[in-house]
Structure 1
């Protein structure tokens, strides 16, 4: 497919990026900590660490892994914690020492945790004590050799560390009883690591930086192999996109999505590390009132999130009172941004909510809308620098402009495959090397890509395709709706029918109100056949609504 999208690039964004500026993520890190040594790198719960301190602390953790534990190059270091200062210290320490980071969702069950740690061959795990009980349940069945335990307050300094840990443990009862004999505290690891100098390890683009697990909500989680080259390429691509609009050493980015998620990891942590930004870590973004209070403390210039997070902020009355005068980038990804949310975001902040698209397997960015976009356009944007896209039908034939097809991607940010899963890897790629995203999309004459929906989520009503995103967008535009999810359910009359699950903003909202609203905006076969009101919708750890769980619950309830 011709790169027709290049003509729409904002001024200053190149067609190709320099993939060789950094030989590894360690090279990027060392350049940034030297250049921005005095600037604050990360802030969490009011405690900040400078780039110089991040350099020192991560070197100590690297020394612990190399000198105390004696791990061989390439060993797997699992990290299981929310956004805390310990995360960047441990992650950069592991990468600098030549190890592979295995990010773990802290909300995993014992079964899910056992699968991932066993599959990845993790040698050591750094885990927040809140989740230590989960590890305890499977510890004896794992090849895991070392356990490092930390607490929420451990890096916050005296006396805040004691106060925070007391509240978490005693007041909120957030730490179930646990026992992991032989474990070491994070502070102890740093202390012992300080006795060992960081040994330089030869790391190149082909070496694995992350085993990033994906697909856990749709089957057994698979580890996408993300090399140093993949991640370096994507942060270069992301940086090229934002460079014309931001300033080195001056940015403050709000990081509410967890750093163990690929979106936040690359977009917030690594890309903004390159430009010397301050990352404000939000440990519990589900506490919206607390989140808004934290936002009030900073003149933040950038924020990323998913649609549900932006929606929740907008529905907090204090959010509109914040100072948005410094805000230059609002980036939404991870799930479709709904028009109603985007329009309200611009109304409140004065800035468009820019939608981007990516996957774990693509490190993650594939497409981003121009940051100078004047208004929401329903598109996921333009393919970024050094990226090719192709829309393919089921026979792998490329589709013309304006026709639907599966979005396929080729570029330096694309994984080489799944860890120890050659069959899954083979299925994931076309014969000419494009990664199959599983998303159905169209491209217009200017190169803007619009996602129609996931292949597996498409609803077939009397032979007509119905895409849940379209239905959800219409339902969400009703002023009485807070959140919505649409699924297909079996129907005797039409094969499948549309069912929507709705969280009300207006308690007086009725089924009849919504049906009437949908009939004004949707063709008859797209109008929801069933509506179920709920207090909340099931979501992933980053706030993505779980349609599959809703389908499973519908079946378990006998289709009612």
Structure 2
């Protein structure tokens, strides 16, 4: 049983690998690493960082794909009293210059190719770059001194913003421990030492980093580290070769994974858990998952500001499809109206949270902190929810995604659920479009089932039979795929910009 009586995450993690020296720790590029090998890489990283001048309160930017080096550098930074700031390597150092400056980092760790491209593109010279192989070792280099922060800070995630700089969310050791500790009680069996977790979600995002990488390290489980989900054939191969039995994914990844297995006519045996989060799950995926992975899906919910998990369905026997399950036991919950006034717990409204996993605010950003965090510690999630009598949470919609038609609220999820019941529709996304008369109108973007046909008029008529008139899409367009973020979320803001000609 993991002992969570630690104040720092590296102490907690290192306590789990005692006596496991030759046991499986992580699978990487077709080979199993032992805990001893991973510990040696961590030790080497810590020593190289110390020599590079990295010290208490400093931050280290990581522009790396998922790899042993990301995990080892995290532990090494914590050992020295600093923090890591994982960033999207595909974006490139030059394009992330403003974010890197905002984070005030000691240096940037990236691949040889990433460093070469950064230097050729004229990356800022005052922030040192250090290039290394994804399995180490680090080179020798010297960093810079940034303004130090508290050594309680463990990791900073840069969340996507609609404009300007992203918000930087700083998670402390206490935040991460407060989110990892309830998992064993909340999802029985998930933390078993026989577990092999799939670590394929990007580790610059809280869901992939914490719920795959750190969860495995904290509970002494093995993990399969895959640098990128695509090509999907490589991920399927890694799952089979390493014996993955715990799949952590976002709905977009599940759609591609199941689609590939369907085309190949394959079924993967031995999977015990499939957990999704990060975006809404189409409940129709449940049957496909059972067919090709042998289990159903436990849907969960979280936010970067909550380190990140808030709720998840506990088990197959007790889950409720269409909900994200009950919240972890260490959260306080309030439901408030749009003005921030507390209403009934089972009324539909905006979810507010307080607890050990909730961060204190945004990194060096008082204005955005005031907008989402109350002085007494409550965090406004921005999500409209309904909580049933058993405590199961249904995400109605993002407050910012609600479409207001002639003063009436339209929840995109409701429109999308109706459209997805049409036999020709594979996927649907509904967004608002500005309208001079009604304020907004509903428009929808459809991906059809392979070989199926439907017209906008046909789908609108279908919606009229199942939705109130103001909820019916006035424009429907067909697409092959949706614009998605690097973390697999559908970019609704991009769909709002896309024009659809109204069918005559």
Compute the displacement of 1:76 (Å): 0.9
Give a deviation string over 1:497-527, Cα, whole Å, max 9, x none: 1111223332442224433443443333222
Residue matched to 1:25: 9
Measured against aligned partners, the alpha-carbon deviations of 1:6-49 in whole angstroms (never above 9, x if no partner) come to xxxxxx9xxxx98x612211101211221432222111221221
Moved runs in structure 1, 4+ residues, more than 6 A? none
Matched, 1:72 2:55: yes
Q: Does 1:450 align with 2:394?
A: yes
Counterpart position of 1:510: 454
- Measure how far apart 1:552 and its partner are: 2.9
In structure 1, the partner of 2:89 is 106
Q: How far off its partner does 1:494 sit? A: 2.8
Q: Indicate the larger mover: 210-219 or 444-453.
A: 210-219
Report 1 or 2 for greater relative contact order, CA contacts < 8 Å, sequence distance ≥ 6.
1
Per-residue CA deviations over 1:175-207 (Å, capped at 9, x if unaligned) read: xxxxxxxxxxx5352xx69xxxxxxxxxx9971
Match of residue 215, structure 1, among 160, 164, 174: 160
CA distance 1:134–1:437, shift in 2 (3 Å): farther
Superposed, which structure 2 residues align to 1:161-560 within 5 Å?
186-189=136-139, 207-217=152-162, 219-242=164-187, 244-246=188-190, 248-316=192-260, 317=262, 321-324=266-269, 326-374=270-318, 376-511=320-455, 512-554=457-499
Unaligned runs of 5+ in 2: 142-148
CA gap of 1:188–1:461, structure 2 versus 1, over 3 A, is: closer
Measured against aligned partners, the alpha-carbon deviations of 1:437-485 in whole angstroms (never above 9, x if no partner) come to 1111111122111111111111012222111122223333444434432
1:299-318 superposed Cα distances (whole Å, 9 cap, x missing partner): 32211111111111221225
Equivalent in the alignment of 1:149: 131
SS at match of 2:76: helix
Q: Which of 28, 32, 37 does residue 53 from structure 1 map onto?
A: 37
What TM-score, normalized by structure 2, do the two folds share? 0.90
- Change in Cα spacing, 1:240 to 1:148, as seen in structure 2 (3 Å) is farther
Which secondary structure does the structure 2 equivalent of 1:89 belong to? helix
Are residues 321 and 375 of structure 1, via their aligned partners in 2, closer, same or farther at CA, if it must alter by over 3 Å?
Answer: farther
Kindly indicate whether the alpha-carbon contact (under 8 Å) linking 2:485 and 2:491 is maintained by their aligned counterparts in 1.
yes
Per the alignment, do residues 482 and 90 of structure 1 end up closer, same or farther by CA in structure 2, a change over 3 Å counting?
A: farther
- Does structure 1 retain, via aligned residues, the 8 Å contact 2:27–2:242? no
3-state secondary structure, aligned to 2:323: coil
- The offset of 1:111, in angstroms, is 6.2
More displaced 10-residue stretch of structure 1: 255-264 or 282-291: 282-291
- Work out the CA distance in 1 between the residues paired with 2:329 and 2:245: 24
How far 1:262 sits from its partner (Å)? 0.5
CA distance in 2, matches of 1:265, 1:341: 24
Structure 1: distance between partners of 2:229 and 2:126: 33
RMSD, aligned CA = 2.8
Q: Deviations over 1:53-96 (max 9, x none)?
A: 111111101100002x1222121111111112222122222222
Q: Greater CA deviation, 409-418 or 98-107?
A: 98-107
SS of equivalent to 1:321: coil
1:115 Cα shift?
1.6
CA 110–97 in structure 1, closer or farther in 2 if over 3 Å, else same: closer
Worse-matched range after superposition: 211-220 or 336-345? 211-220
> Relative to 1, partners in 2 of residues 1:47 and 1:362: Cα closer, same or farther, differing over 3 Å?
same
Contact preservation (8 Å) 2:97, 2:123 = no
| Cα distance in structure 1, aligned partners of 2:443 and 2:114 | 36
* 8 Å CA contact retained: 2:92, 2:118: no
Any residues of structure 2 matched to 1:112-151 within 5 Å, and which?
Answer: 112-132=95-115, 135-136=118-119, 140-141=123-124, 143-144=126-127, 146-151=128-133
- Distance change in 2, residues 1:271/1:247 (3 Å): closer
Change in Cα spacing, 1:149 to 1:205, as seen in structure 2 (3 Å) is: closer
- For 1:313 and 1:382, locate their aligned partners in 2 and report how far apart those are by CA, in whole Å: 27
Q: Secondary structure of the equivalent of 2:241?
A: coil
Write out per-residue CA displacement over residues 317-345 of structure 1, whole angstroms, 9 at most, x where no aligned residue. Answer: 25762333x32211110001111123332
SS for the counterpart of 2:18 is helix
CA contact (8 A) 1:61 1:90 kept: yes
CA contact (8 A) 1:391 1:406 kept: yes
1:97 aligned to which of 68, 76, 80: 80
Are the equivalent residues in 2 in contact too, given 1:352–1:375 (CA < 8 A)? Answer: no
Query: TM-score, normalising length from structure 1?
Result: 0.82
Secondary structure of the structure 2 residue equivalent to 1:548 = helix
Measure, in 2, the Cα distance between the counterparts of 1:471 and 1:454. Answer: 14
Report what 1:168 is aligned to: none
TM-aligned CA deviation for residue 369 of structure 1: 1.4
1:43 paired to 2:22: no
1:399 and 1:490 mapped to 2: Cα distance? Answer: 30
Give, in whole Å, the separation in 2 of the partners of 1:319 and 1:334. 27
SS in 2 for 1:122: coil
Q: CA deviation at 1:285?
A: 0.9
Query: Per-residue displacement from partner, 1:362-414 (whole Å, max 9, x unpaired)?
Result: 10011111223455521111110211111111232222143221111100001
CA distance in 2, matches of 1:412, 1:206: 17
| Contact 1:392/1:398, CA 8 A, preserved across alignment | yes
Check whether the contact 1:453–1:468 (CA below 8 A) recurs between aligned residues.
yes
